[in-house]
Each structure stands twice: as structure tokens, then as C-alpha cells.
Amino acid sequence: MTEITQSDGTWVLDGDALRLTPGRDKNVGLLRRTLGEIRVPLAALAGVSFEQGKRAGRLRLRLRDGADPLLHATGGRLAEPHDPYQLLVESERHGVAEYFVDVVRDALRLEQVSSGPVTEYLLPGPALPLSVSAGDGTASFDGERVRLEWNWKTEDAKAAGGARTLALTDITAVEWLPAAGLENGCLRLTVRGAPADVPPKHDPNAVELWGFKKDPLMALVAAAVQARLPHPAAPADGAVCGGSAPVEAAAPDRSADGTEEDHDALLRRLRELGDLHRTGVLTDEEFTLAKKAVLRRM
């Protein structure tokens, strides 16, 4: 087990996954605090990096396209305090951060994780049930239905229609947009048969957001819904949801006779692990965990 602990949070490489726990520092965003600990399988990672700064550095995880419903629903628009895949590192801990990056990269190489896109979500999304109040309404989701309720700030014609209950089977897409400059943000649900070009202020299937503190929490609702919609890259009956071209999942290594990861390849990997252990790259505990993972495949 390898870990780095900062006031911003703690990251731990534990076997075949990373555990990301937000810190209690006042600068930790509300979304990260609400999400709590995230378990990221190594199979979901495309890479890891460390960027040094004068006062603090930054660890960053890059996830494979399509692995995380939160990233898909937000389109990479989460601001720094709310991004769970960044960790601020104090200057005196830069060496530890660099070592952490090396260990994670070694683990990715040993597991032969592809950095390419995936056709199914590898993270489960936020826990349910979920309810968030922000902007001109409240959005609640129980896994089967989304309920939208309005407040006194809602535009009159939109509020006159009353609360909305949308079955998940009627929702074809969801997105979260933050407020930017003079443009308001929104949580928008695309509903089968409903017009898609209505401004959020008047759209009964959208919550308008004005850039206040709780706006990022609406991204959790978007992620929870997204996690239960068909994956946009998953083939279905010869077609692909959303009209995108199919994306192939990374294929396992195969030997000449078609069996997955032949015996010789696994023996070579064990020898590589032994070399890394002897040269001090892997600790005793890390070597034992990695060796067990290889032996399980044999």
C-alpha cells in the first residue's frame, strides 16, 4: 500500500484501486466533501502526473474516456476545488508525490492497463437516493425517477406547470453546465419527445443555475442519472446509443492458441516484478500484492 496525505486529501494505492479521500481543509470544494471517498479501479486510469509549483504542486489523475459518469455528465467543466481527481501537494512533500506517481505508473504497466476509451462505466456514480436544491429548483433521483420541484425564484410560466416526475426510461441524456460570466448554468435532462432548444429558464426539464455555492452539487444528480443510462459508446443491436461510432474495449493479451495471457508471459511478468523489488522500486508489501495479482491469473 502506498499513500500520500495532505490537508487537501489522502490518496492511497491499495491493491488494484486508488482510494481518494477529501481533506477537511476549508478550500476543499463542496462537491468533493459531499462525494466522500472515491474508489478508482486501476482499469479506469489513463495516466497520472505531478505538476510542481512554487508554493504547492498538484497530483492529477487522467481517467479513460467513458470510465466515469461524473466526468461524462460534466464534460470536464468541474472547477479545481470540486475536481476529485486533483490533489494539492505542499512543497515539502513533492518528493513523496513523485514517488507516488512512479508507483501508480508501475502498477498500470504491470496490469497492462490500456489508456484508450471504454464501453462501460467503471465507476458507479454517486450513492442514491439523492436530492439537491440550487438555482430555481430541487432535483431528486431515486434510481428510477427524477423529480424536479420549483421555488419562488422560478420563472412564472415554468412554475405554473408544477413539479415534474420523469421516468428514467424517458430520459435520453443529461448534462450539467456551470455558470460562466454572464451565462447561467443548468442541470438539463433531455426527455424523449420534448423540445431540446428551450432556454433553461423556461425549460420544465431543466434547473437553471446562477453560479452560487450549491451549483456543483447538481453535477452529482447528473452523474447519478448518467450512470444508469446506456453508455454512449456501448453497442446495442448493431447500433450505438447517441449515434457515436463504437469504441472497442481493451482486449486482454492472448497467446497464439487464443487463451488469455499465456503461461510464459506471466512468468516474464513475475521476473520483472522481482527485478523491481530487488532494485528498491517496489517495497516488500507492494511486491507481494503485485505478485499475488499475477499468480491469480496463472
The residues facing 51 across adjacent strands are 58
Report, as ranges of residue numbers, the positions in the chain whose pLDDT lies below 70: 236-269, 273, 275-282, 285-286, 289-290, 292-298
Answer for the pair 139, 215: CB distance below 8 angstroms, yes or no. Answer: no
Q: How much is the pLDDT for 99?
A: 94
Q: How much is the pLDDT for 53?
A: 80
pTM for the model: 0.77
What percent of the chain stands above pLDDT 90? Answer: 68
Taking the CA atoms of 58, 1, 291 and 15 in sequence, report the sign of the dihedral they define: negative
13 conformational bin, left if phi > 0, alpha if psi -120 to 50, beta if neither = beta
The Cα-based distances of 258 to 110, 161, 255, 262, 293 in angstroms read 21, 59, 5, 9, 21
